Amino acid sequence: MGAIALAGLSIGQAVLGASAANSASKQQAAIQEQQYRANRESAITARNLKTAQSTLELRRSIEQIAGEKMDAALQALETSESNKVAAAEAGVSGQTVDLLVSDPRTALYRQNTKYSDQIKDMQTNQLLQAKGLDAEAINRINSVQRGVSTTKSLWGAALEGGISAGIGYAGAELAKK
């Protein structure tokens, strides 16, 4: 077999080998990319479900506080009105009666401030929890590597085959001498 034929055969083998390696690499990258996307979707779905659950719990807590707030307002109004009626029936008036009437309203104001603070704290906690869930989802997504194909250039393979054939030819020529 001639030197040129050997060089052509060597180049052909290199190109075919690179082509087969490229095909396998692309297939593996596609599988890995599919796993990455499935993991990503799962992580996002989990984060969304946890966030929805947290939002529902916050809404329930706020509704409970609103109910307590309404009960406290009704109680303060009842107490204030009872104090007015009692003072009127007793024939008493003046600053002391005014204080008795306004005292339940002052207590209600303090109670409302407490409720508002509780709601703000719960909302802040939910925001922090949402940020934690986002970080958890990102970490989960990043735990699976994306599919990356490490393909070899067919021209590069041909060049490698040609260089290999050239070295082989030169070695054969030197052996003849």
Mean pLDDT of the chain: 78
For 151, phi then psi, to 5°, come to -85, 150
The parent domain of residue 115 ranges over 3-176
Is pLDDT at 137 greater than 90 in this prediction? yes
Q: Which residues contact 169 (CB under 8 A, 6 or more apart)?
A: 3, 6, 7
The string of pLDDT tens digits covering residues 71-111 is 888 887 887 777 777 777 777 777 766 666 667 777 778 88
Q: What residues have CB less than 8 Å from 36, skipping those under 6 apart?
A: 141, 144, 145, 146, 147
- 122-133 pLDDT, tens digit per residue, is 999 999 999 999
A 10 A CB-CB count for 160 gives 18
Higher-confidence residue of 152 and 73: namely 73
Number of domains within the chain? 1
Give yes or no for residue 54 having a pLDDT over 80: yes
Higher pLDDT, 55 or 21: 55
pTM: 0.57
